[in-house]
Amino acid sequence: MLKDEGTKKVVTVTRKRGAPKAQSKEAVGGGDGSIVTHQEYRAMVAEAAYFLAEQRGFTEDGVTDDWLKAEELIQMRLR
């Protein structure tokens, strides 16, 4: 919507929301028989990657390596 209010122009933008994403029902099994949902797994990896980045001083280089190392650590813990 565009209105002319003297010298000011006001623009209102409306976006349609898409359908909400379906929750992933995939699960990762732990070695002790426990089950971790994909969402929980990603949260665990993200937290581990954060702490790895903190140890590096939060520099930009190494972000991908932090994530991959975090996945490796979490997978080892879940076995």
Amino acid 12: pLDDT:
47
- Which three-class secondary structure state does DSSP give residue 67? helix
> Does a structural domain hold residue 14?
no
> Does a structural domain hold residue 79?
yes
Amino acid 34: pLDDT:
74
- Burial of 42 from C-beta contacts in 10 A (0-12 / 13-18 / 19+): middle
> Does a structural domain hold residue 10?
no
> Does a structural domain hold residue 55?
yes
Tokens of 9: 């122009």
Amino acid 35: pLDDT:
85
> Does a structural domain hold residue 21?
no
> Does a structural domain hold residue 40?
yes
DSSP 24: P
pLDDT tens-digit map of 8-58: 554 444 445 554 444 444 556 666 667 899 999 999 999 999 999 999 999
Angle at 24 between CA 18 and CA 25, to 5 degrees: 140
Amino acid 26: pLDDT:
55
For residue 3, pLDDT over 60 is answered with no
- Domain containing 34 equals 26-79
> Does a structural domain hold residue 5?
no
> Does a structural domain hold residue 7?
no
Please state the domain count of the chain. 1
